[in-house]
Amino acid sequence: MLHVSMIGCGAIGAGVLELLKSDPEVVFDLVIVPENALDNAGATVRRLAPEAKVGLGLNGTRPDLLVECAGHRAIEEHIIPALESGIACMVVSVGALSEPGLAERLEQAAQRGGTQVQLLSGAIGAIDALAAASIGGLDSVVYTGRKPAGAWKDTPAERDFDLDALTEATVIFEGSAREAARLYPKNANVAATLSLAGLGLDRTQVRLLADPDATENVHHVEAHGAFGGFELTMRGKPLAANPKTSALTVFSVVRALNNRAHALSI
């Protein structure tokens, strides 16, 4: 039986609780949220994981695993201290690691605590193949993200393009994964995950497209190296509770927990 504490109870956290509420091998003991979210989180937790407590932090408790589903601030506030105290962690908000030095800080905290932090694949696939290919040598990794034009509102693309007037797919950004993460932080998770598995943030190339005809978020990855080459295209459906979040992100957390808790792992 795996005893889990989770940070965050928004769309991703609630989705994880929903899918695992009948799994006897995964037990949620604590859900950590900010003070202003205690009431809403409490109602969700009582419905989906009635044995779990809701609180502001670990407060001395030591779960088997601490899972982050809450964003950058949670990594600084909760994940790094937990790793330093020897608690294994999983991180969903991989895009936060595009901040210079944060990935290294996570690794060093885990080393000091004698434990491990796992970065989850989230909305993208083939991370296992890309990470394996990087061992033999990668020459290039190109990620293309295509979203409906309206999905790029409240980003730098809205300043540079009339998104409502687009009549065809338009490249709104082309550059390194590090620069993409800086300019489009809310869209950084996939590019950052690919970068950390492969060539790094500065050598992974990113193209972002606004497509007025698109109805889905489309992720395309093309990689070449000593292993040969592969192309992957994924058409992600959004999470019903939050259209800005891929449903696959929730499923990736559940899969990772299943692999920790169950006798057979894949």
Residues flagged as binding site for NAD(+): 123, 189
> Residue 228: CB partners within 8 Å, gap ≥ 6?
none
CA 97 to chain centre: 10
Residue 220 annotated to the active site? no
Identify the CA nearest to 239 among candidates 226, 248, 230.
248
Active site residue: 3, 72, 78, 219, which one?
219
Assigned token pair, 85? 């105290």
Element (H, E) at 217: strand 217-225
Which parts are annotated binding residues? 123, 189
CA 164 to chain centre: 29
Identify the CA nearest to 183 among candidates 216, 206, 215.
206
Calculated CA dihedral for residues 244, 249, 251, 257, nearest 10 degrees: -140
Q: Is 25 helix (H, G, I), strand (E, B) or coil?
A: coil
Element (H, E) at 165: none
Element (H, E) at 18: helix 11-20
Region for residue 33 given its phi and psi (left: phi exceeds 0; alpha: psi -120 to 50; beta: otherwise) = beta
List active site positions: 219
